Chains A and B, each alone.
Chain A
Amino acid sequence: GEDVEQSLFLSVREGDSSVINCTYTDSSSTYLYWYKQEPGAGLQLLTYIFSNMDMKQDQRLTVLLNKKDKHLSLRIADTQTGDSAIYFCAESIQEYSTLTFGKGTMLLVSP
């Protein structure tokens, strides 16, 4: 069945780079997403990548996909205290398929 796994916690200092990792098991996954959730809020779509891509960069965010190992990572450059939140990796098989989420990685950025 489908399963998405993430490490639970990451702590970094302001200005450093953060790397959040995710592994998925469904080789049919076509769309892979990163969402951010701040306390008391819903989910904010940060970025996505298609399975036929290796990398995608969007300002401070870089997504790397290793399809062979079913490994996805999100790198945040110059991490700020405002980046402190829970980050969810999610995958879907088709554009309108349901999303399967990981349990989320709590990122804590200290000054």
Chain B
Amino acid sequence: KAGVTQTPRYLIKTRGQQVTLSCSPISGHRSVSWYQQTPGQGLQFLFEYFSETQRNKGNFPGRFSGRQFSNSRSEMNVSTLELGDSALYLCASKDGGYGYTFGSGTRLTVV
């Protein structure tokens, strides 16, 4: 089985721009979660989608949004980028079993 695929791996954006990150979960996995990882705050939960519905949401501003498609692929969008949004964004998928399987992440740098 292919793992969780995140694209792109690296991204550089300018303050004020918006960005869309993509995540393809493991085939058959219906739950997709997103986490932000920074040196200062560590790993923080953004949101989780299950069968195209947002099931949980973390404590992030409305500039952060996401969606899930019928094939379980998910995207997250960040609008009006700020320098503090620079981070590694990790996607994870799950369907039964225990523990989430994480992708390699997208490294976003905002300049």
Contacts and interface: CB of A to CB of B under 8 A. Distances in A.
Contacts of B56: 97-98
B48 A98 contact: yes
B99 interface: yes
Interface residues of B, number: 24
Interface residues of A, number: 21
A55 interface: no
B24 interface: no
Complex A-B, nearest 4 residue pairs according to Cβ-Cβ distance, in ascending order: A42-B102, A101-B43, A43-B102, A45-B99
Interface of B: 4, 6, 31, 33, 35, 42-43, 45, 48, 50, 55-56, 58, 90, 92, 94, 98-105
Interface of A: 31, 33, 35, 40-45, 48, 88, 95-104
